[in-house]
């Protein structure tokens, strides 16, 4: 139970830390609970989306839902995405890439990357019916977090432990943790209205494989920023798949 609480404390800015004091070692196992955290972040997003769409244009409601997740997570993953783009965009070798990603300042690659990410995210979901967009979020957020979390089973941590930005290096998943994560990422797919939309789940897997292969080649491992970037890009590919299926089956 403390490991689940640790995951909610780390991955959100909600006051779960008030419930109990969690020892530092429990934060090493939070990635296997990341998809479960997605159930909450997605649920709160969809509540705002559906409630907002009752009194506002659907596009505005979607923007408010996006802002809601940014507030809930403290832009944790988006910060990682910006650092990822800066590091791999501006770095010419392993040491330089890692140094740039650790720098707290955002560069041009990060700015352009975030603009493209948010723009595509908004366009993909805003062109879906509100009901389908909500179902896509309920499925896509936890599913993509679960897929992204598998990075720790494929790659080693790229930095020395004492150099970690969050001061926490994740432990590889045990068999039990792997199965728990698998259940938490697959169950939300039941929110999708038709079985054909399950095909969208293939794109995050492909995105994950390409990104982890790229990281292995460039820095021989992963960082926390890589985890956040992988989640957001996997989620974006999931919504791309949903949009393609919706458009082609009209």
Q: Is residue 142 part of a domain?
A: yes
State the greatest distance between any 2 C-alpha atoms of the chain, in Å, as a whole number. 53
Q: What is the pLDDT of residue 17?
A: 86
What are 120-130's pLDDT values in tens digits? 999 999 999 99
In a domain, 104, yes or no: yes
Residue 17 lies inside a defined structural domain of this protein? no
Residue 238, domain member (yes or no) = yes
Residue 112 covered by a domain: yes
Which pLDDT does position 24 carry in this prediction? Answer: 87
Provide the angle, in degrees to the nearest 10, between the axes of the packed helices 58-73 and 108-126: 130
Concatenated DSSP letters for 142-205?
HHHHHHHHTHHHHS-BSS-GGG-TTS--PPPPPHHHHHHHHHHHHGGGGGSSSGGGGGGGHHHH
How far apart, in Å, are the Cα atoms of 185 and each of 22, 47, 158, 176, 214? 24, 20, 26, 14, 24
Q: Is 23 exposed, middle or buried (0-12, 13-18, 19+ CB in 10 A)?
A: exposed
Residues in the chain: 250
Quick one: pLDDT at residue 92? Answer: 86
pLDDT in tens, 139-153: 999 999 999 999 999
The answer to pTM > 0.75 is: yes
Instruction: Look at residue 30 and tell me if it is in a domain.
Output: no
Q: Is residue 127 part of a domain?
A: yes
Q: How many domains does the chain divide into?
A: 1
Give the phi and the psi of residue 23 in degrees, each rounded to 5.
-60, 150
Task: Determine the Cα–Cα distance for residues 39 and 35; give it in Å rounded to an integer.
Answer: 7
Continuous H helices in the chain: 2-11, 34-55, 58-73, 76-90, 94-102, 108-126, 130-149, 151-154, 175-186, 202-219, 224-248
Q: What is the pLDDT of residue 171?
A: 87
Q: Which domain holds residue 236?
A: 75-243
Residues 6+ apart with CB under 8 A from 157: 164, 169, 170, 221, 222, 223
**pLDDT at residue 104 in the model:** 81
- Collapsed DSSP state (helix, strand, coil) of residue 105: coil
The answer to whether 203 and 61 are in contact (CB under 8 A) is: no
How does pLDDT run along the chain (250 residues), one tens digit per residue?
A: 889 999 999 999 999 988 888 888 899 999 999 999 999 999 999 999 999 999 999 999 999 999 999 999 999 999 999 999 999 999 889 999 999 998 888 999 999 999 999 999 999 999 999 999 999 999 999 999 999 999 999 999 988 765 555 557 888 999 999 999 999 999 999 999 999 999 999 999 999 999 999 999 999 999 999 999 999 999 999 999 999 999 998 7
In a domain, 121, yes or no: yes
Residue among 244, 248, 235 at smallest CA distance from 38: 235
């Amino acid at each position: 139970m403390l490991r689940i609480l640790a995951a909610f404390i780390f991955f959100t800015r909600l006051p779960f830390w008030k419930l109990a004091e969690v020892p530092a070692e429990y934060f090493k196992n939070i990635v296997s609970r990341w998809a479960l955290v997605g159930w909450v972040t997605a649920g709160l997003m969809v509540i705002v989306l559906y409630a907002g769409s009752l009194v506002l244009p659907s596009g505005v409601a979607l923007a408010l839902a996006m802002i809601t997740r940014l507030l809930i997570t403290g832009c944790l993953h988006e910060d990682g995405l910006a650092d990822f783009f800066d590091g791999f965009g501006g770095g010419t070798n392993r040491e330089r890439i890692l140094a740039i990603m650790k720098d707290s300042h955002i560069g041009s690659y990060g700015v352009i990357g975030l603009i493209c990410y948010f723009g595509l995210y908004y366009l993909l979901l805003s062109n879906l019916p509100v009901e389908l967009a909500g179902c896509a979020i309920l499925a896509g957020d936890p599913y993509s977090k679960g897929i992204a979390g598998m990075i720790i089973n494929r790659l080693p941590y790229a930095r020395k432990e004492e150099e970690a930005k969050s001061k926490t290096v994740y432990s590889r998943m045990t068999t039990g943790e792997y199965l728990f994560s698998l259940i938490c990422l697959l169950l939300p797919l039941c929110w999708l209205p038709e079985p054909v939309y399950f095909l969208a789940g293939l794109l995050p897997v492909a995105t994950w494989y390409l990104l982890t292969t790229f990281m292995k080649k460039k820095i021989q491992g992963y960082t926390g920023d890589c985890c956040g970037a992988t989640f957001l890009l996997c989620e974006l590919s999931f919504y791309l798949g949903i949009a393609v299926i919706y458009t082609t089956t009209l």
